[in-house]
Structures are given as structure tokens and as C-alpha cells.
Amino acid sequence: MRTRHVNLLITLIAVVLFSFSCFCISRMTQTSNQLTNCRNHISEFKESILRLKNKTERNRQELLNAFKEMKLDISEKERDAQNAVEKKVNASDTNETVSDAFEVLKFFFPHLRKVDRIYPDVIMGREKTGVTFALGISTVNRGNYSYLKQTLTSILSRMTLPEEKDSVVIVSIADSNENYVKSVVDMITKKFKRQVTSGSLEVISIPAYFYPNISHAARSTDDSEKLESWRIKQVLDFCFLMLYAQPKAMYYLQLEDDILANKMYLTKITDFVHNITSNNWLYIEFSVLGFIGKLFKSEDLTDFVRFFLMFYKDKPIDLLLGDIFLVKMCTPGEALEKCIERNKHIRIRYKPSLFQHVGIQSSYPGREQYFKEI
């Protein structure tokens, strides 16, 4: 009986152990399946994250591309606007709107007769016309010295806004040095951007083919020949600038690149001109120094240029200006001394001077000058 009970107990324990083993195996299988599912979920999560990352990267790239396209579009529009302000006009340009004022040069310089159309190499500005005043400034490289920024600041800052709208300041670069041309254009673009954009300030560059063959004098070791070459070129520089300015305005005011203007100078010039009772004046001097501050009627500029070109090899331009005054004002048969004495009383000069010369380093290499208005 006891043995039977023992066997029954062992059988029961075996059944319990078997059931427990089955339960454990089942639980382990279930846990393994759960772990597998968890790994699958983790893998799917990683793939989702990767897809999201890739999508984010694509969106970022698309956004960058969109920004690049916008930037490119803005740059193109800025270039288009700049091209409207700054453009290069070649001598072969056949645009009928280009002025024929330079054609007079072909009469005096045979080498220009082969050129189809004479015009500046570079124009920066809006080619403003129909204004009252054109102010011309010729500039050349003075080495380590430059007064142009100071001069332009003085000229432009001492205009009223209405005067600025009714005027155009023309800077003529009479120098073939490309670095100097670029430095002038860069300086003006940065410092006087508003005036360039509005059309109140222009920059031109005189083409090298314009000048007759005077290079032999410039290369000479003789200082007198070098000085003569410099004086000849200076006359030609002014002539080219005057021809360019002639169709733009009613009056032309000749300045230089190393001067300062008095306050309200343009207001005073306007008032003075309007108060002159006769319109038969030849030119008005608002400074007695050299060629500074000379005001001309634009309709007379071509005649002045013709006279200057007839004698450009003989005298500096300020002395030629005095000669044309005598030619115009002296009557036939009148003694020269009497004419000169009479013209002292009719030559129109404004006092005090509205412009002061400040440049010490001359445009002639190595020369210093200390000319001041008294």
C-alpha cells in the first residue's frame, strides 16, 4: 500500500514537472517571439528614421536649391539693373541715339577718319540729358596721390536735391592704366552709388585711339618734350570731355579733380547767370585759376573745341581760352593793346571765387604745385 502511494506521488510529481516544463517552454517560446517582434519593430523604427532623415535631407537640399535659384534670380536682376547703369559702348556701335558731336574730331585728326563712330570706351551712368548744368571733371593717375573722392564729395554734397536732379557731374578718366580706371569706377560705385543710380553722376573713359601720335614726346628723355606732351594731352582731354557734355545741358561748368567747392556754389552760379542782362557773354569765370570754374553755354562748346584743336600744340588750354576771348571781342583794325585794356572791363568774373584748388601733387609726374585762389 505504501509502495502504491509512493508511486502515485512520483507520478504526480512527474506530471507536475512535465507540465511545468511545458509551461516554461511555452513561455520561453512566447518570449522569444516577443523579442523577435521587438527586434522587428526596432528595425522598422530604424528604417522609418532613416527614411525620415533622407526625406529631411531631400527637403533641405530642395530648400537650398530654391534659395540658390532665388539668389541667382536676384543676382541676374541686379546685373540687369547694373547693366542699365553701366554699359560699354564700342566705337563700332551703330546706335542712332549716339551723339554725333565727336564727328568734328575727324576734321582735325585724320587717323580718326577710319573710325566708324567715336565715343567713350566706358560709360557708367544713365546718360542723363535735358538738365541745366553739366559739370566736367577730367582725372588722371597721380600715383600715390588722389584728390578725386574729396573733390566729388565737395561738389555733390554742396548741391541741393533739386540742383542735383537738374545737373549731371561727368568724370572723364583720361588715363589708359586699367588698374586706375578700375579703382576710379570702384570708388565711385561704392562712395556715390545713389548719385550714379539717379543719373546725376557719370563716368567715362577716353579711348586710347583718340589721341594723335605724341607718344614719342612722352618717351623722350628731354623734360621739355615730356612737358609739352603732357600739355597737349591735357588740351585734348578737355576737348573730348566738352564734346561729350555738350548735348546734355544748357550750361557746361569746367572743373578739375583737385578742387573744393564753396557752400551753395551752384545756387550762386544760377542766380548770377539769371541776373546777367545780356545773353551775349562768351564765358563766365567763377575762379581765376587755370581752367577751373569756367562756365560756358553748351551751344558754344563746339566752337570752343574747334578753336582749341586748331592750336592744341601751341599753348595750354587756359591761355587758349584767353586767346579766343580776344578773337571774339576785338574788332577788326583795333589795336591789340586797346582791345586787351577794354576787355578787362567787360570780361565777366564772379567774385569771390567759388572754387579753391587744393591739389599739391600735379597731374604732371613729379611736379608739385601750390596754386591758391587769392
Residue 96 is predicted with a pLDDT of 44
Of the pLDDT bands very low, low, confident and very high (cuts 50, 70, 90), residue 239 is very high
- Return the domain boundaries, the chain: 102-357
Residue 215 half-sphere exposure, CB side, CA atoms within 13 Å?
Answer: 7
Q: How confident is the model at residue 295 (pLDDT cuts 50, 70, 90)?
A: very high
pLDDT > 70 in the chain, percent: 72
Residue type, 6: V
Q: How far is residue 354's CA from residue 206's CA, in Å, rounded to a whole number?
A: 28
Q: Give this prediction's pTM.
A: 0.71
Round the average pLDDT of the chain to a whole number and report it.
Answer: 81
On whether the CB atoms of residues 212 and 180 are closer than 8 A, the answer is: no
Q: What is the CATH number of domain 102-357?
A: 3.90.550.10
Residue bearing the bigger pLDDT, 339 or 132: 132
Q: How far apart are CA 144 and CA 200, in angstroms?
A: 28
C-alpha cell at 298: 553748351
Give 112-125 as a DSSP string: GGG-S----SEEES
Task: Output the nine-digit C-alpha cell for 266.
Answer: 551752384
Mean pLDDT within 234-259: 95
